[in-house]
Structure 1
């Protein structure tokens, strides 16, 4: 019950963001979607802690993610800027919402698949839906702080969210925070850093979100390089195993 209740709360938060957007309260609209992302990060962990995972919960989570991180951001950004482009702005919003739904459908289809190279190596396939929504809002973060209308330009925003849509359904390896296991020697430093980051979010939320978005994008090449190393190491290990089997058969 508890994990599913949190998932439902995340869904309510994401949909409430649309209501704030209709009323022109852009900051509240986007913060509501970000709150949905926080709740989405909690429900799965609580389900694992309580050993309360279920197929129903997984389906509910994907449905909530599609609405909160696909449909809601698309509508919010359309009302904020993209509607000035009329049809092309709407196509960009549709592309983001559809790609988010496709990503979640792919995730559900692979739940029971044993062979998942990215997952077995501690990576995700493509950008997660909550992260994609957060990245799609990046121009708003900067616009909110600087007031520079360039970041609200519908053409630039259309290109930006189209790129985020591509990242959602891409096959590239991305970092999985759940797989990160910091060494004991840096855990206190990490706790201190997280505390300061939380304080920064309270004091300067938009600049902090901008920094988080930039940091995530900067880490994407690192994830590709790291996964490439793991992939090459695995290929070498398989080649050695096949070579060993060949030698054994020859000896026999």
Structure 2
């Protein structure tokens, strides 16, 4: 007989995941109806839900394999399919094959990124993401659409640029560029009073022009990965950009003083 305590699912974290899934689906429907601003905002709302469900599950000790799988499925819709369709309907549909190929590169990149993340989650450095995280890539593409709507820009007039950014976001997701995960930040610890003032200032800046500020922020974050990678290695190899990596590659990303310490131990 199956133990009753193993039946069922945890409600709260999966409810948050469902909220993210709904936001992604709402973004698709809104884009199909030409409501691009609502579609872009919905993707950012999905990011909030995605950031909450995992943290709530850990705080309440309600992690489960079902929740992890459900979260991946939700992420594929909200940060894989939805941004690609929003981008396609806003600025790529008149490019023909180039348009839908750029959108597909993004979708394929998101799928591969999520699959790689799930299979490597136990062995990767928690401080960094291998490749651009799918929520950040979604924010980059959705942010472009949001800025375009805010400034009355017709996406089809800049179709090649939209295709370039959408395809680049997809490729960055499957790259080996290292992005800071910010997981070393502990929100439950004490911070200086000035930190609260900085947070308030950030909220004020975002509130002034949310679409432009968020787009610039995620654009700089997307660029930071390649820059940090090229600065932290002595000699750039193909494995630093794309392809399989092994445990020896981590030494190439270490800081000079860390490399010296490792060599002295050998």
Secondary structure, in 3 states, of the residue corresponding to 2:254? helix
Residue 66 of structure 2 is aligned to residue 56 of structure 1: yes
Structure 2 contact 90–156 (Cα < 8 Å) conserved: no
**Hey, what does 2:263 align to over in structure 1?**
239
* Aligned counterpart for 2:55 among listed residues 45, 64, 73: 45
Give the superposition deviation at 1:223: 4.2
**Hey, what does 1:145 align to over in structure 2?**
150
TM-score by length of 2: 0.79
**Hey, what does 2:179 align to over in structure 1?**
174
Q: What does 1:75-224 align with in structure 2 at a 5 Å threshold?
A: 75-113=85-123, 116=124, 118-119=125-126, 122-149=127-154, 152-180=157-185, 187-217=192-222, 219-220=224-225, 223-224=228-229
Change (3 A) 1:145 1:16: closer
Q: CA deviation digits over 1:78-104, x for unaligned, max 9? A: 111110012210111011011001000
* Aligned mates of 1:66, 1:216 — CA distance in 2: 21
Task: Report which stretch shifted further, 9-18 or 218-227.
Answer: 218-227
Q: CA deviation digits over 1:97-138, x for unaligned, max 9? A: 11001000001111344xx3x33xx11111111001011234
* Aligned mates of 1:160, 1:141 — CA distance in 2: 14
**Hey, what does 1:6 align to over in structure 2?**
16
Q: CA deviation digits over 1:35-66, x for unaligned, max 9? A: 00011011111111112212211111111111
* Aligned mates of 2:155, 2:17 — CA distance in 1: 36
* Aligned mates of 1:222, 1:42 — CA distance in 2: 29
Count of aligned positions: 236
Higher helix share: 1
Give the superposition deviation at 1:212: 1.9
Secondary structure, in 3 states, of the residue corresponding to 1:178? coil
Task: Report which stretch shifted further, 223-232 or 160-169.
Answer: 223-232
Give the superposition deviation at 1:161: 0.9
Q: Which runs of 5+ in 2 are unaligned?
A: 1-9, 234-251
The CA RMSD measured in Å over matched residues stands at: 2.6
TM-score by length of 1: 0.83
Q: Which runs of 5+ in 1 are unaligned?
A: 243-252
Structure 2 contact 94–156 (Cα < 8 Å) conserved: no
Secondary structure, in 3 states, of the residue corresponding to 1:153? helix
Give the superposition deviation at 1:174: 0.4
